[in-house]
Amino acid sequence: MINQPMSGSAGAVGRDRAGWLVLGELLDQLRVLTSSDLRARYGRGRWQLVKWLVDPFALVGVYLLMDRFIFYHKGFATGLSIACAIIPFQLITMTVTGSFDILRLRQSIIGNMQFRRGLLPISTALTETVGFSASLTLLAVMMAAYGVAPTISLLWLPLALAVTVVFGIAIAYPMTLIGVWAADIRGLMLSAVRAAYFLAPGLVTLAEIHGRTNSLVRVNPLTGLFEALRHAVYYRSNPPAWELLYPLAFAIVVLIIFVPIYNREQKHFAKVIE
């Protein structure tokens, strides 16, 4: 009788240890996949860091010129406002692009190695998160250029970025599947992503969109991502709950729908790439 609690306790400790070992294995595989993905897709060397830093500045410059000379928009710190939309948009766009190519890039290990293939979409999103984090220098430069001083609201920035990363991971699952089922529509899907930017407050803030259109653009989950970042950096105020909760809920629904489908289909990936 005395030994039974000890035996039960030892069993619980054993299960906990096994759980930690499995978690450690998952994290290690994810680390290896992400690091190798970075090398395979972006190469090595310092020039890649330069590219990550320059890309968001170039995008902001293009949209700033469009906003200034085509739309004649003269808002306050327009470049900073656009940067708050460009940074999450770049993560989503690059995740979609990478998801379409992931099986081709990983065909050697898919066909010859045993690993958790359910981690592939996550590693794709995390690969782009590295570039995403490098582009945060854009916010600092724009804040300095426009004389926008940071406030306590900047503490919302990590949460807004975390929701963006979760959203990117969620989108990676259906995009990977579409890359398997219908690789020919890659161009169409990228066009849809770009359209989503213009159907959200990317060039202008949500407050500048009025009437029924204001309500409609809130349906786009990118709106919440853009505006949450703006609240932390540009408006310098607390973001409304919906700006974080709606994109997060959207991401969770996508994961609930597509992760089981992905897990079913990933068993046949080796056949697809042959």
Complete DSSP assignment for 172-220 = HHHHHHHHHH-GGGHHHHHHHHHHHHHTTTSSS-GGG--HHHHHHHTTS
pLDDT, position 62? 66
pLDDT, position 170? 95
pLDDT tens digit sequence for 29-59: 666 666 666 665 655 555 665 666 666 666 6
Tokens coding 161: 């970025």
Q: How confident is the model at residue 268 (pLDDT cuts 50, 70, 90)?
A: low
pLDDT tens digit sequence for 147-186: 888 899 999 999 999 999 999 999 999 998 888 888 788 8
Taking the C-alpha atoms of residue 93 and residue 189, their distance in angstroms, rounded to an integer, is: 10
Taking the C-alpha atoms of residue 135 and residue 129, their distance in angstroms, rounded to an integer, is: 10
pLDDT tens digit sequence for 202-249: 888 999 899 999 999 999 999 999 999 999 999 999 999 999 999 999
More confident residue, 87 or 254: 254
Taking the C-alpha atoms of residue 56 and residue 66, their distance in angstroms, rounded to an integer, is: 15
Q: How many Cβ atoms from other residues are within 10 Å of residue 60's Cβ?
A: 26
Helix (H, G, I), strand (E, B) or coil at 234: helix
Taking the C-alpha atoms of residue 200 and residue 124, their distance in angstroms, rounded to an integer, is: 24
Ranges of each domain in the chain: 45-272
pLDDT, position 74? 63
- Predicted model pTM: 0.79
Residue 272, pLDDT above cutoff 60: no
Cα separations (Å) of 241 from 228, 230, 238, 247, 252?
9, 14, 9, 11, 16
pLDDT, position 2? 44
pLDDT, position 80? 86
pLDDT, position 1? 45
Taking the C-alpha atoms of residue 78 and residue 146, their distance in angstroms, rounded to an integer, is: 9
Q: How many Cβ atoms from other residues are within 10 Å of residue 165's Cβ?
A: 19
Helix (H, G, I), strand (E, B) or coil at 31: helix
More confident residue, 27 or 124: 124
pLDDT, position 259? 92
Contact of 180 with 272, CB cutoff 8 Å: yes
Q: How confident is the model at residue 68 (pLDDT cuts 50, 70, 90)?
A: low
pLDDT tens digit sequence for 5-17: 545 555 555 555 5
Mean pLDDT of the chain: 79
Tell me what the mean pLDDT of segment 100-128 comes to: 71
pLDDT, position 237? 92
Tell me what the mean pLDDT of segment 249-263 comes to: 94
* Helix or strand run (H / E) with residue 273: none
